[in-house]
Chains A and B, each alone.
Chain A
Amino acid sequence: MNNSGTTIFDSWHPFVPLAFFASVIVLSMAVFQPVFIAISFIGALASSIAIRGWKTTVKSLRWQLPLIVLIVLFNPLFSSLGSTVLFTVGPFTMYAESLVYGICMGVMLVSMLLWFVTASSVLSSSKVMALFGKRIPVLSLMMSMIARLTPLYVRRGREISTVDSACTASGRKKASVVAQAAKRSTVLMSWSMEDSLETSDAMRARGFGASHTRTSYARYRFRLRDGIVSVVLLVLVVCCAFLAWTAASQYRFYPTMPMLRIWWGYIPYIVLVLIPTFLSIKEGIRWMR
């Protein structure tokens, strides 16, 4: 679905997706109420499909679903609380409340993970930098340099181990994994230190540290449209937060769970978490012809 590296948020200033994902993540973390958790999970799944595509989402679910099961199984072991006994195995008693609590916890964790992965595929490092670069240019440069050096060192590390294992004529007995790793990292370290001298020359020659105020080349402009959307988003989030607080404060798991009813107050949250899906469907219809 998304091999080109474009996302539905591209035409917005990075602040908009940042605000969206930040609020959704905070809300799904803070509100521990079954319906809100379910909505958040469905929204996260739908957004992940809309932004990262079917294949990637299903692939990540392959390990995320077992994670839910694991948490569901473990929670009752540690918190044997509740009033509705389901069954008893040896010293463990399984209560319905405890089971539901575990399910909620597992689902919440996975939806958080999904939101985070989706957010990171929308907010590339350059977008994050554009957001913070103006305030803290040094930080944004540092992030850029780290993003530059990490793949370089990984590649070099691979090269070093390739050569090391290819030179069989040196007759070394199979060294221990630790000794080998230590040797290889020594090579990598001295190589990288040596190169960093050249890099620092290249930086100085291009005026690094010359001026007190570093500017930052931002590729994104904050337009009126971004402003309006941000305000609307903010209103929606505040609305959701209030409703979620109301719902969560009336809900408890132990000792007994109250009945859940159909309530209009869930609607704003449903709208909020499905925004990426709406946008994606809208885009899909536009390009269908």
Chain B
Amino acid sequence: MDALTFDNFGFTYPKMPHSVLDHIGWHIPEGSFALLGGATGIGKTTLLRCAHPILAPSGTMAGHIKVFGEDIASPDQKWDAHRCAQTIAYVSQSPETQIVCDTVWHELAFGLENLGIPQEAIRRRVAEIAHFFGIESWFHRTTDELSGGQKQLLNLASVLVMQPRILVLDEPTAQLDPVASKNFLHALFRINRELGIVVVVATHEPYEMRAYATDEYVLQPSGIERVEIHRQVDSQFAPVAYASTNPHVHPLTGHSTAHPDASSFSTDRSNLTEEHADSSASASPLSATSSSKTNTLSCKNVWFRYDRSLPWVLKGFDLSIEQGTCHAIVGGNGCGKSTLLQLFAGTLKSERGHVCNAAHDCQAFLPQNPKTLFLSDTVSEELHAWQKDAGYSDDDVEQWMQRLAIQDIKDQHPYDTSGGQQQKIALAKLLLTQPSLLLLDEPTKGLDAPTRRQLAQVLTTCRNNGMTIVLATHDLAFAELIATQVTMVFDGEATATEPPATFFADSIFFRPSAAEREALNGCK
């Protein structure tokens, strides 16, 4: 029997002229681990939420959705919360917002408490699930102090404690770093194979997940299509296909993704790398040829810790960053990348050593979460927010909206736009102020390959115009594409600083996977 069936399904949001989804025929058999791909904004989230009787958005539905053969919309079937929780579970993208309680144990018990399960039974099930996920060691911790990966694992555990038969996840690893995301996928794999729970994952980064999945589907405007799982990049919806044919047109929507005057900047991979070679050649023998260039940022023997009782984050950190370069800072989780950016920005002060920032009065900082920057009701207002003080014109705003392809959403509320769009709005807001130093903290978190590529283009153009860019990132493929220098931070020190070509050639483990690289760069 099929676990989940969409039968000629369609969905229209209220007051919208067109349907989001149409003629969806999708059968997910029992025991499967299904991936759902598709371009951003195509309706993956809507589709998955519709399958959850409680989370289904309001709107008009056509056709049927059946869960283990039972229609979820039929009036005679009572889909109360009890039954629903024990049939289908949903985990969304943000690890933070799904957590309700202050401690791990209470979070695990929350769902069972809601259903009025007797205490002894709660104890038993919480114990089992904590054991399954290896949560014992942090069972008594407060939820706020957990890492992102632990938070997402906790979200998974606290829906599984209700013993659902289907698990639906919407971009579950988008906010996680590579190590945490692998860990999470492994947990999903065990749930699927050991417990026999059906797993359905919507994702725009299927590369890492293919090793675990049994089926892969792509949502397209025409409907759902099944694709063969290849270990290599799938030409169906990876940006590869369009990058090779027409670099400026999106394969699925047909929209132009490049800004009008992008012609000066080639999107072709070979050109990008050639240009890399040039810049890195001039920059690599730092002592010899670069004497003409000035340092925007330099720090010498910088020591930093957050509290006297806490361990040092940076221990004698040395680094200098030349004007007009793009410097990527990479390293494991909690190695101090974000701390370093804040020291550069001057919002944290080093305990010992000095940070010299020549661009201190003309810098911009893009935080991990773009919502930190939003305070207006529309995108357009948001971009005009600093106009008076920073002195840019209306034309500048128009131009940047076009460059970043956000002019279509200019009347929307920033919160109503997708994650990728929010990132672009925030970036546009910062770039409008024409900073000479741009600090970026995980700029590609949760973005799909076309958006990342677009960001790479924009940032490289900015750098060519003399802007200094420093980014802290886990996204090695992105770093390889745009950086002129890469620094690895380990144990509070700058362990290696090299041009990306040398850096990644020398790395054994610390390099983008072939699949990621291809997805971002296009065809070889």
Is there a chain B Cβ closer than 8 Å to A62's Cβ? no
Binds B, one of A95-103, A156-164, A262-270: A156-164
**Contact between A163 and B114 (Cβ–Cβ < 8 Å)?**
no
Known contacts A167-B430, A204-B54; is-contact A194 B119 (Cβ 8 Å): no
Complex CA gap A252/B210 in Å reads 83
Contacting residue for B375 out of A148, A151, A183, CB 8 A = A183
A203→B111 CA distance, assembly (Å):
8
- Chain B residues near A213 (CB-CB < 8 A): 116
Complex: A151 Cα to B145 Cα, angstroms = 9
Q: Verify if B365 is at the interface (C-beta below 8 Å from A).
A: yes
> A214 and B106 in contact (CB under 8 A), knowing A198-B98, A204-B81?
no
Q: Are B144 and A151 in contact (CB under 8 A)?
A: yes
Q: For B82, what are the chain A residues with a Cβ–Cβ distance below 8 Å? A: 207, 210-211
Partner of B109, one of A155, A186, A217: A217
Question: With A187-B375, A207-B81 as given contacts, are A144 and B142 in contact (CB-CB < 8 Å)?
Answer: no
> Nearest residue in B to A158 (C-beta to C-beta)?
B347
A246 CB to nearest B CB, Å: 45
CB contacts under 8 Å to B, within A228-246, are none
**B361→A170 contact, CB < 8 A:** no
Contact for A159 among B109, B144, B372, CB less than 8 A: B372
Partner of A205, one of B90, B362, B365: B90
Contact A202:B97 (CB < 8 A) given known A173-B389, A217-B126:
yes
Instruction: Point out the residue from B101, B114, B346, B362 that lies within 8 Å of A210, measured CB to CB.
Output: B114
- Contact partner, B122, options A137, A141, A199, A215, Cβ 8 Å: A215
Dominant SS among interface residues on chain A: helix
CB distance from B147 to the nearest CB of A (A): 14
List chain B residues, Cβ under 8 A from A125: 102
Cβ of B10 under 8 Å from chain A: no
Judge whether B363 and A168 touch: CB under 8 Å. Answer: yes
A75 to chain B, nearest CB (A): 38
Q: Which residues of A contact B281 (CB under 8 A)?
A: none
Residues on the A chain within 8 Å of B103, using CB:
126, 144
Chain B residues numbered 74-110 whose CB sits less than 8 Å from any CB in chain A? 80-82, 84-85, 89-90, 92, 94, 96-103, 105-106, 109-110
* Distance to closest chain B CB from A1 (angstroms): 14
Q: Which residue of A lies closest to B117 (CB)?
A: A215
Pairwise interchain contact A169-B362, C-beta atoms closer than 8 A: yes
Find the B residue at minimum CB distance from A203. B100
> Within B349-402, which residues are at the interface with A (CB < 8 Å)?
360-365, 367, 369, 371-375, 386, 389-391
Within 8 A of B (CB), among A154-199: 155-156, 159-160, 162-163, 165-173, 183, 186-187, 190-191, 194-196, 198-199
Q: How far apart are the CA atoms of A55 and B302 in the complex, in Å? A: 30
- Chain A residues with CB under 8 A of B52: 205
Asked if A89 is at the interface of the complex by the 8 Å CB criterion, the answer is no
Per-residue contact bits, chain B 40-67, to A (CB 8 Å; 1 contact, 0 not): 0000000000001011000000000000
Neighbour of A207 across the interface among B114, B119, B142, CB < 8 A? B114
How far does the alpha carbon of A54 sit from the alpha carbon of B298 in the complex, in Å? 43
Q: Which of B12-20, B235-243, B431-439 contacts A (4 or more CB under 8 A)?
A: B431-439
Q: Whole-angstrom distance between the alpha carbons of A145 and B97 in the complex?
A: 12
Q: Does B143 contact A (CB under 8 A)?
A: yes
Q: Which residue of A lies closest to B103 (CB)?
A: A126
Interface status of B326 (Cβ within 8 A of chain A):
no
Chain B residues contacting A191 (CB-CB under 8 Å) are: 371-372, 374
- In the complex the two chains form, is A207's CB within 8 Å of B85's CB? yes
- Could you tell me how many residues of chain A have their Cβ less than 8 Å away from some Cβ of chain B? 55
Cβ-based interface call for A222 (8 A): no
**Which residues of chain A have C-beta atoms less than 8 A from B436's C-beta?**
169
Judge whether B345 and A206 touch: CB under 8 Å.
Answer: no
Q: Most A CB atoms within 10 A — which of B97, B373, B390?
A: B97
Residues of B within 8 A of A30 (CB): none
Chain B residue numbers with a CB within 8 Å of A201 are: 55, 92
Contacts of A215 in B (CB 8 A): 112-113, 116-119, 122
**Smallest Cβ-Cβ distance to A206: which chain B residue:** B111
Most B CB contacts (10 A, CB to CB) among A172, A173, A190 go to A190
Residues of A within 8 A of B101 (CB): 141, 144-145, 148
Distance of A195 Cα from B374 Cα, bound (Å):
14
- Residues of the B chain whose Cβ atoms lie less than 8 Å from the Cβ of A159: 367, 369, 372
Report yes or no: B114 in contact with A205, Cβ–Cβ below 8 A: no
B144–A167 contact, CB under 8 A? Answer: no
Asked if B113 contacts A202 (CB within 8 A), the reply is no
For A162, the chain B residues whose CB sits under 8 A away are 342, 345, 347, 365, 367
Contacts of B360 in A (CB 8 A): 168
B39 interface residue per 8 A CB criterion: no
- Would B102 and A168 count as touching, CB distance under 8 A? no
The interface residues of chain A lying within 8 Å CB-to-CB of B369 are: 159
Inter-chain contacts of B55 with A (CB < 8 A): 201, 204-205
> Nearest Cβ distance between residue A110 and chain B, in whole angstroms?
26
Q: Does B159 contact A (CB under 8 A)?
A: yes
- Choose among A162, A169, A187 the residue with the greatest number of B CB atoms under 10 Å from its CB: A169
Chain B CB within 8 A of A91 CB? no
What sequence of 0s and 1s flags, for each residue 108-139 of chain B, a beta carbon within 8 Å of any chain A beta carbon?
Answer: 01111111111100110010000000000000
State whether A207 touches B342 (Cβ < 8 A): no
B415 within 8 A of A: yes
A206 and B386 form a contact (CB under 8 A): no
Contacts of B365 in A (CB 8 A): 162-163, 166-167
B213 CB–A CB distance under 8 Å: no
CB-contacts of B467-517 with A (<8 A): none
What's the Cα separation between A183 and B158 when bound, in Å? 36
Could you list 27 A-B pairs, sorted by A, with CB under 8 Å?
Answer: A137-B113, A144-B102, A145-B101, A148-B142, A151-B142, A152-B144, A155-B144, A162-B342, A163-B365, A168-B363, A168-B364, A169-B363, A169-B390, A187-B371, A187-B375, A190-B374, A194-B371, A201-B55, A204-B54, A206-B162, A207-B111, A208-B81, A210-B81, A211-B81, A211-B115, A214-B113, A219-B105
Given contacts A144-B102, A147-B102, 5 further A-B contacts (CB under 8 A): A159-B369, A194-B415, A204-B55, A215-B113, A215-B118
Binding site for A on B (CB under 8 A): 52, 54-55, 80-82, 84-85, 89-90, 92, 94, 96-103, 105-106, 109-119, 122-123, 126, 142-144, 155, 158-159, 162, 342, 345-347, 360-365, 367, 369, 371-375, 386, 389-391, 415, 430, 433-436, 439
A-side residues, CB < 8 A to B, are 125-126, 129, 137, 141, 144-145, 147-148, 151-152, 155-156, 159-160, 162-163, 165-173, 183, 186-187, 190-191, 194-196, 198-199, 201-219
Those 6 A-B pairs whose CB atoms lie nearest each other, nearest first: A210-B81, A169-B435, A217-B109, A147-B102, A166-B365, A206-B111
